[in-house]
Amino acid sequence: MELKTMLDVQKIRKDFPILNRKVNGKPLIYLDNAATSQTPKQVIDVIVDYYSNYNANIHRGVHALSQEATDAYEQARIKIQKHFNAKHSYEIIYTSGTTHGINLVASGFSSLLKKDDEIIVSALEHHSNIVPWQMLCERTGATLKVIPMNTNGELILSEYDTLLNTNTKLVFVNHISNALGTINPIETIIEKAHAVGAAVLVDGAQSCPHLKPDMQALDVDFYVCSAHKICGPTGVGMLYGKEEWLKKLPPYQGGGEMISEVSFEKTSYADLPHKFEAGTPNVCGGIAFGAALDYMNAIGFEAIAAYENELLEYATAQMLQIEDLKIYGPEASGAKNKTSVISFNVGNIHPYDIGTILDKMGIAVRTGHHCAQPIMDFYKIPGTVRASFMFYNTKEEIDTFIAGLKKAVLMLS
């Protein structure tokens, strides 16, 4: 029985000015949402309002504009805290994005790890959740171990069990794979890591547009995400960290704002969250991040997830009818193990060639290794074509995409 969408998608689409434009003379069909989502007018208006009416540096000013900007910025932090159900607003650290948050934690653990300590990462990670930990191991002498994946694009948890031991200090895993759409069982991963005394960082860049992660329910130690995946602007994100861990970690950068007192003999650091927020922040970005969460919460994440799963099922069924088309990762759709991402190839056709022809038709997809080269190496392929859907996409757009894909395959065969 087909799901009946709970969203007024045509009304929602009117909120996104970019969806009205044409590319190569064709109406834009934007299916590169896993790379970045589009921005609704409600968020754009907040950005324009900030720069038009109260642009100022924050926290240090006594004048009206500075106080207005400070209030808006800190109110946005509280919105983020409530959205993710963090215990305290000072457990929310503003960052420039997911990568910044991961590097902040990796830098902090340089002083906490020692030789013979072990850290675990998964085979499904984005490069930003691999490279910083390799660098950490080089600095500390710790050992990096990897949870392997199976051909269905899922982590082999029995192997994870064998990797865990009392030397394990940190575990890193994405909530959802950006390359395959796999939803990882992070609740189990966190619980098992905590059983041996290890901390856990979850990369939530791909989950936050589709789910509403609850920091208290997950009991996760660190969680990171980027606003530009959640209908917000680029250049801003958040690191959630449990208070006890954030107090253990040293500052990531030195400068203004992160200090309590400075002399040439000694500097004392500010309390959380400012200890990790050196320099003038992306004030407008933080405020717009809060506005983006307001926008998505007004639509409702349950309705978003249900509709996006409907799109996933619809597109998957049609794509599997194309000869020689192979979907990588979980082939069957379903909210339990996959979100609205389809990563695929057709026969021996290079993914770049398919993406280029689709672009000529106004259809935006992503091609390449998606900053997840180990996954491509596992499948022994150079990359994939990735189509990723958001709640403002439609079945009519998928029909056009399928027709364009068939045309591209015919041209390239």
Residue 35 lies in a domain: no
Band (pLDDT 50/70/90 cuts) for residue 267 is: low
Q: Are 215 and 85 in contact (CB under 8 A)?
A: yes
Query: For 170-192, what is each residue's pLDDT tens digit?
Result: 999 999 999 899 999 999 999 99
Query: For 375-390, what is each residue's pLDDT tens digit?
Result: 899 999 999 999 999 9
Last residue of a domain, one of 297, 314, 334: 297
Q: Are 174 and 203 in contact (CB under 8 A)?
A: yes
225 is catalytic: no
Band (pLDDT 50/70/90 cuts) for residue 80 is: very high
Mean of pLDDT values over 217-242: 98
Band (pLDDT 50/70/90 cuts) for residue 21 is: very high
Residue 330 has pLDDT above 90, yes or no: no
Residues of the domain holding 288: 44-297
The CA R_g of the chain, rounded to the nearest whole Å, is 22
Q: Are 177 and 198 in contact (CB under 8 A)?
A: no
Assign residue 83 the CATH number of its domain. 3.40.640.10
Residues in the chain: 413
Residue 142 has pLDDT above 80, yes or no: yes
Euclidean distance between CA atoms 388 and 38, whole angstroms: 12
Residue 268 has pLDDT above 90, yes or no: no
Residue 38 lies in a domain: no
Q: Are residues 293 and 306 in the same domain?
A: no
Query: For 274-287, what is each residue's pLDDT tens digit?
Result: 888 878 899 999 99
Enclosing H/E stretch for 361:
none
CA 205 to chain CA centroid, Å, is: 1
Residue 60 has pLDDT above 80, yes or no: no
pLDDT of residue 334: 46
Last residue of a domain, one of 262, 297, 332: 297
Per DSSP, the residues of 6-51 read -S-HHHHHTT-GGGG-EETTEE-EE-BTTT-----HHHHHHHHHHH
Q: Choosing from 137, 208, 284, 371, which is the catalytic residue?
A: 371
Q: Are residues 84 and 196 in the same domain?
A: yes
Residue 62 lies in a domain: yes
Mean pLDDT of the chain: 92
Q: Are residues 138 and 272 in the same domain?
A: yes
Cis peptide before 148 (omega within 30 of 0): no
H helices present in 85-219, as ranges: 98-108, 131-140, 157-163, 186-195, 215-218
Residue 220 lies in a domain: yes
Q: Are residues 365 and 327 in the same domain?
A: yes
Cα angle 124-129-131, degrees, rounded to a multiple of 5: 110
Residue 1 lies in a domain: no
Euclidean distance between CA atoms 194 and 129, whole angstroms: 20
Phi and psi, residue 211, nearest 5°: -125, 175
Retrieve residue 28's tokens. Answer: 């834009």
Band (pLDDT 50/70/90 cuts) for residue 61 is: confident
String of b and e for 79-96 (b: at least 16 CB within 10 Å)? bbbebbebeebbbbbbbb
pLDDT of residue 311: 96
Query: For 23-51, what is each residue's pLDDT tens digit?
Result: 999 999 999 999 999 999 999 999 999 99
Q: Are residues 287 and 364 in the same domain?
A: no
For residue 67, the one-letter residue type is: Q
Residue 4 lies in a domain: no
Q: Are residues 130 and 51 in the same domain?
A: yes
pLDDT of residue 5: 58
Q: How many helices (H) and strands (E) does the chain have?
A: 14, 17
Count of domains for the chain: 2
pLDDT of residue 287: 98
Band (pLDDT 50/70/90 cuts) for residue 335 is: very low
Last residue of a domain, one of 255, 272, 297: 297
**Residues linked to residue 350 through DSSP beta bridges, in sequence order:** none
End-to-end CA distance of the chain: 36
Q: Are residues 278 and 216 in the same domain?
A: yes
Q: Are residues 204 and 64 in the same domain?
A: yes
Assign residue 324 the CATH number of its domain. 3.90.1150.10
Q: Are 91 and 83 in contact (CB under 8 A)?
A: no
CA distances from 9 to 40, 80, 302, 311 (A): 13, 25, 15, 12
pLDDT of residue 128: 85
Residue 369 has pLDDT above 90, yes or no: no
The pTM (predicted TM-score) of the whole model is 0.94
335: nearest Cα among 227, 212, 217: 212
CB atoms within 10 A of CB 20: 10
Residue 332 has pLDDT above 60, yes or no: no
The DSSP bridge pattern shows strands 199-203 and 168-174 to be parallel
Band (pLDDT 50/70/90 cuts) for residue 392 is: very high
Task: Please tell me which residue, 340 or 371, carries the higher pLDDT value.
Answer: 340
Q: How many CA atoms lie within 13 A of 316 on its CB side?
A: 21
Retrieve residue 168's tokens. Answer: 């394990």
Band (pLDDT 50/70/90 cuts) for residue 6 is: confident
pLDDT of residue 333: 47
Euclidean distance between CA atoms 107 and 132, whole angstroms: 8
**Where do we find the tokens 């996409």?**
393
